[in-house]
A and B are shown apart, each in its own frame.
Chain A
């Protein structure tokens, strides 16, 4: 009597386990059908991304060669004419202002990071602890206001055509993806930049008080890379 009871219980347990396994097997089959198809498609997409990037890098190299060739030819062409030499000098100067050269100097380096030590359920608004695109725009605006000559965000040079935008969970500067930690380099008079940026009521203080991790330091050796994007000029005359 007792023995048959045990056997029945065990039988039921086995039955349930077997059914569970069958259900799982079916789930996996379905999932693989679905994923497998698009997954190999993504491989193609990945290959395409790589080949487009390679093309881009190749044309970038060619462009660099052509640019130095143009500079050389221009220098030769103006060698025997003073008025032309002056124009060449102006061309160089405006190219600098357009961000077409690497620049160096002293200034400040600002570092921003999301505050990951706060848990979502501990605070009223987790968004306050994260760096947003609007924060970067405000800081760039402030830096130029206090006399910065050149600025970059994670290596992206800020020029007159630069847009800063939030694209889902990431920020794009000059169309390139930017992630935290964010490093903003600015060339200018270091003390002016530093003390103006940390002033009471300044944007860095606002950010810090909101909960974002903010660091700023003066530096005598800052290098800012040139702009690698283009200026549209299809509509201006």
Chain B
């Protein structure tokens, strides 16, 4: 009788120990799953390194540009005519970036057209402009209207589209200056790229053409802050 009780107790203890060990192991496994999650971030880390490197290189280039300008001003400090020339160059460059000067260069021309049962809407053009910017477009115009920082594109009563407040109608010709290879491949990704998406989702035909000499005119509207004020640093 006594032996039976002892045996049961011993076996019970063994079971408890075994079950505890199992639970401990379960815990270890769930912890490893978390580190596996971190493992999945490797791609993100590599992405982050690449984007940061690009940003760094861009800024280094900008710094070189500025140091060059400083050197030029220093060299010609006493020469009013030369200073005037330097200022004109700088102004022209800034105007080109802001859209206040006509520019030319290589890039792509994208054409969209209304069809009987499918119209081009403002959003189709808005998406296109966004895609072109992401692909590195340096200047963009739609039917001659230059895209500037505060440009907007909207549908008016389903009848026509306005851009910068000006009416435009189909066919739409979107010009973009930038690296033609990047611009084209940016829009031409299979299925999910802009061009395929327009075909599949909206039944709109989009054609793209690379061109070596595109001219984009300056913005003709008024580009000024109406109420914002710069904080001088």
Interface residues of A (CB under 8 A from B): 3, 6-7, 10, 13-14, 17-18, 20-21, 24-25, 27-28, 31-32, 35, 38-39, 41-42, 45-46, 48-49, 52-53, 55-56, 59-60, 62-63, 66-67, 69-70, 73-74, 76-78, 80-81, 83-84, 87-88, 90-91, 94-99, 101-107, 134, 137-138, 141-142, 144-145, 147-150, 158-165, 175, 187-189, 223-224, 229-237
Contacts and interface: CB of A to CB of B under 8 A. Distances in A.
Contact of B32 (A32, A74, A187): A32
Given A103-B225, A104-B231, A90 B177 contact: no
A70 B228 contact: no
* Residue among A48, A88, A101, A233 with the highest chain B CB neighbour number at 10 A: A233
A91 B58 contact: no
Given A49-B48, A142-B152, A235-B178, A13 B15 contact: yes
Interface string B114-142: 00000000010011001101101011000
A38 B225 CA distance: 52
Contacts of B126: 137-138, 141
A149 B226 contact: yes
Contacts of B42: 38, 41-42, 45
Interface in B191-233: 223-233
Contacts of A142: 152
A104 B229 contact: yes
A1 B127 CA distance: 82
Contact of B91 (A69, A81, A90, A149): A90
A149 B227 contact: yes
Given A149-B225, A149-B228, A52 B49 contact: yes
Interface in B96-125: 96-100, 103-107, 123
A35 B28 CA distance: 13
A91 B18 contact: no
A83 B230 contact: no
B190 interface: no
Nearest to B76: A77
A10 B11 contact: yes
Contact of B70 (A25, A69, A104): A69
Interface string B124-167: 00110011011010110000000111111110000000000000
Main DSSP-derived SS at the A contact region: helix
Contact of A235 (B35, B106, B223): B106
B1 to A, nearest CB: 11
A224 B228 CA distance: 10
A134 B48 CA distance: 23
Given A14-B15, A105-B227, A175-B55, A91 B87 contact: yes
Interface in B22-42: 22, 25-26, 28-29, 32, 35-36, 38-39, 41-42
Nearest to A18: B18
B129 to A, nearest CB: 9
B83 A236 contact: no
A70 B18 contact: no
A140 to B, nearest CB: 8
Given A84-B80, A148-B150, A55 B56 contact: yes
